[in-house]
Every structure is written in structure tokens, then in C-alpha cells.
Amino acid sequence: MNAMHQHLLDASRAARLGDPPPPAPGTHDLAVLRAVRDRRRFERVLAGRPARGGLRAALRRAGLFGAGLLGTGRSVPSRSVPSHAAPSRTAPAPCRRPAD
């Protein structure tokens, strides 16, 4: 039985008993995620750690942030492009028709 089946079962039981129907599955998901985020920030402050940036710092330590995978690429070192690489994305040369 999935969440929708359970919701339908609970809704029919509530209708039979005259109670208000339960909220649909997923109705309060964002509120729960925000509450979890706020609680974790609060616990970080109580522990004396910065309240923000913990995930980015962990990803940076793992080498996953800033390398173009998850970040904006600001910390990517510049590299020389090999001659066999695809051409850069500049405007194409104008197309000229042969003279008639």
C-alpha cells in the first residue's frame, strides 16, 4: 500500500465517522524540511559553529563544490585548451555568397 492508498483509506474512514478528512500526502513536506533545516542551524549555533555554510564547506573539503559540478565554478583554476578541442562559442563568421 502506498501513501495515496493510505490517504484514501483514512479519508473514507474519516467520512464514515464524521471527522474532517486528513491532508493529502505531501501537503506539509516543505514545512517539515524547513523545520529540520532551522533545527540543524539552531543546534550548530548552540555548539559554537557557524550557522550557515556547513554543507558547502563539507562539499569543498570533498572536492565536489566549486569544480563546476555543484558550484558556480568560481574556484576552478584556468586551463589551457588543447588545439584539438571544440571551438569556443563565439559568433560564427558571416556567410558570404559567391559572386554571380
**Is the pLDDT score of 6 beyond 90?**
yes
Instruction: Name the grid cell of 93.
Output: 563568421
Answer with the residue of higher pLDDT: 91 or 40: 40
Residue 7: the pLDDT is: 93
pLDDT for the residue 63 = 84
User: pTM of this prediction?
Assistant: 0.43
Specify burial of residue 56 (Cβ count, 10 A radius: 0-12, 13-18, 19+): middle
**Whether pLDDT at 55 is above 60:** yes
Percent over 90 (pLDDT), the chain: 32
Query: What end-to-end distance do the CA atoms of the chain give, in Å?
Result: 75
CA angle 24, 25, 26 (to 5 degrees): 110
